[in-house]
Amino acid sequence: MAGPPLTDSKHGRVLSGRRVLAATGAATALVCAPGVPATAGQLPASTHAVAAPRVVPAPASLRTLPGVSFTLTRKTKIVARPGSGTAGGYLAGILRRSTGYPIPVTGAGGSRGAISLVVSRHEKGEAYHLAVTKASVRLEAGSAEGLFRGVQTLRQLLPPAIESPTVKPGPWTMPGVEVADSPRFAWRGTMLDVARHFFTIQQVERYIDQAALYKINTLHLHLSDDQGWRIAIDGWPRLATYGGSTAVGGGKGGHYTQADYTAIVRYAAARYMTIVPEIDGPGHTNAALASYAQLNCDGKAPPLYTGTDVGFSSWCIAKPVTYELLNDVLGQLARLTPGPYLHIGGDEAHSTTAADYATFIEKVGPIVGKYGKKMVGWNEIGAAKIPPGSVAQYWNTAKGSEGGTQTARDAVAQGAKVVMSPANHAYLDMKYDQSTPLGQDWAGLIEVRDSYEWDPATLVDGVTEKDVLGVEAPLWSETIVTNDNIDYMTFPRLPAIAEIGWSPQARRSWDDFRVRLAAQGPRWSAMSVNFYRSPQVPWPAS
């Protein structure tokens, strides 16, 4: 190869032939076949291309091992040590489908030629350590959950075709790396609004698998709103059968039986994802009010609503039956939900007086606590008295000390933590640009860069790193009906939010992220994810 020796832009080192492509950001680095020496500038005789690692979210630290790679073969096995949880079986399922290899999973065995998953006391929580060498792959974590997170990194070291649901030709080679990784925030979430349009269990499970690839660990299900009530409640059958019978646009609705909900919870748990159910109130309650006349202050049930206005409905704050209902609803949800949180909504209560709003929140908080759960609410709850340990979900577009940020500070002042979901950065139902066929634009247009370039710990004055529990990207479904619609609005912005939730702020830059995000495109194609090909991202020609 002619021309001056290439230097590593960061350290000015002259690179050997093996690393020159990786250092120039090329999608592949050339790796010598075993035993073939390479010297600077001379390309080794027999090599095959091994993609340089392009992992999202960016690991806290990743070191490439030049000239080292690990190739899956028919002999590759997974050694999942006791306590390693679902990670081994989950990874084997993915690898078997696309390689056609048997990929047995055993509880013990040698590490040579194997992928070993080991829970050790050297790591804690979701932290993991991944070492890929020529002879073996070793993933070590402080918990089964940490192994599952590390498996997502391991997947992304393999060629995109590894995500194919059918057998593809190899080679199945991953670059030698050493990764030491752990998350910045505990709550890395997405929300699926199943109230405006209903999504089947299969659609929710598909969304869970997509989100799990980016280390998302929380799925918030918006189970009730003006247009639909989506969970069956014993003793109040009409909530689901009538209140869930339609949707935005007047089409067919639907609801989850409690067995359905339990199936979703279990599917999520096998991916170390916590379900946070939301029963919105005191606003956004028309579906329930339409189902039972006695819930209304005037004793009259309004008609079902299939439009997209907000703020016109309210629980009847003065009536005891309101709290009898919520006691049953929240009690049954608490029993069905292993996670620590119940979300009680609290947004856009434009038809509830401020005094009644405070009364409502102060009555519902203790009900949530009685069932052993922590209360989550949209940030307006900060205006009321809330139990310490509550969580305020910030959704306004205001920043710094602008008007809409005050209730977030009020919540923090009462000992609450904050989940950051600013609508002008994290709302997945916002259009990318004016030509986007789906979504809304009331919070502004959100291209991928807008969803990435913000810091949850500095956006709102008085809400600092220690106050932020995490981030969440809500997908409101007024305009979202099909899997293709879900994909188009979610990808590529959910991985951006996932990186904000996982990676160290100091490791994040748009110029680096967009290159790693581009490498996700062929993976989404292999997974049949209908993603938006943002002009801001250098997608590879695939």
Closest distance to ligand IFG from the beta carbon of 348 (Å) = 5
In the complex with ligand IFG, which residue's Cβ is closer, 163 or 429? 429
Closest distance to ligand IFG from the beta carbon of 446 (Å) = 11
CA 149 vs CA 78, 115, 201, 216: distances in Å: 16, 15, 23, 9
Cα–Cα distance, 248 to 250 (Å, whole number):
6
Q: How long, in residues, is the chain? A: 542
Closest distance to ligand IFG from the beta carbon of 474 (Å) = 7
φ/ψ of 329, rounded to 5, equals -65, -50
Provide long-range contacts, Cβ within 8 A and 24+ apart, for 366-374. Answer: 367/323, 367/326, 367/327, 367/330, 367/331, 368/330, 368/334, 368/342, 368/344, 371/330, 371/331, 371/334, 371/335, 371/342, 372/334, 373/330, 373/334, 373/337, 373/340, 373/341, 373/342, 374/340, 374/341, 374/342
Answer for the pair 79, 108: CB distance below 8 angstroms, yes or no. yes
- For the question of residue 348 being annotated catalytic, the response is yes
CA 74 vs CA 49, 70, 71, 196: distances in Å: 20, 13, 10, 47
Closest distance to ligand IFG from the beta carbon of 429 (Å) = 5
Decide the pairing of beta strands 105-106 and 218-222: unpaired
> Phi/psi class of residue 3: alpha, beta or left (left: φ > 0; alpha: ψ in -120 to 50)?
left
Choosing from 140, 145, 163, 348, which is the catalytic residue? Answer: 348
Q: Coil, helix or strand for 256?
A: strand
**DSSP-derived secondary structure letter, 392:** E
**What is the dihedral angle through the alpha carbons of 492, 514, 56, 449, rounded to the nearest 10 degrees?**
-50
**In terms of C-beta density within 10 A (0-12 exposed, 13-18 middle, 19 or more buried), how is residue 212 classed?**
buried
Helices (H) and strands (E) in the chain, counts: 16, 17
- Nearest by Cα to 246 from 262, 235, 230, 265: 230
Q: What six digits make up the tokens of 11?
A: 């350290």
In the complex with ligand IFG, which residue's Cβ is closer, 427 or 432? 427
Closest distance to ligand IFG from the beta carbon of 193 (Å) = 7
Closest distance to ligand IFG from the beta carbon of 110 (Å) = 53
Q: Which residues sit at the interface with ligand IFG, rule CB under 6 A?
A: 310, 347-348, 378, 395, 427, 429, 440, 476
Closest distance to ligand IFG from the beta carbon of 340 (Å) = 21
In the complex with ligand IFG, which residue's Cβ is closer, 348 or 410? 348
Cα–Cα distance, 517 to 361 (Å, whole number):
41
Where does 234-319 have alpha helices with state H? 238-241, 258-269, 286-291
Closest distance to ligand IFG from the beta carbon of 225 (Å) = 6
Instruction: Report the chain's C-alpha Rg in angstroms.
Output: 25
Q: What six digits make up the tokens of 538?
A: 């250098």
In the complex with ligand IFG, which residue's Cβ is closer, 305 or 427? 427
Catalytic residue set:
348
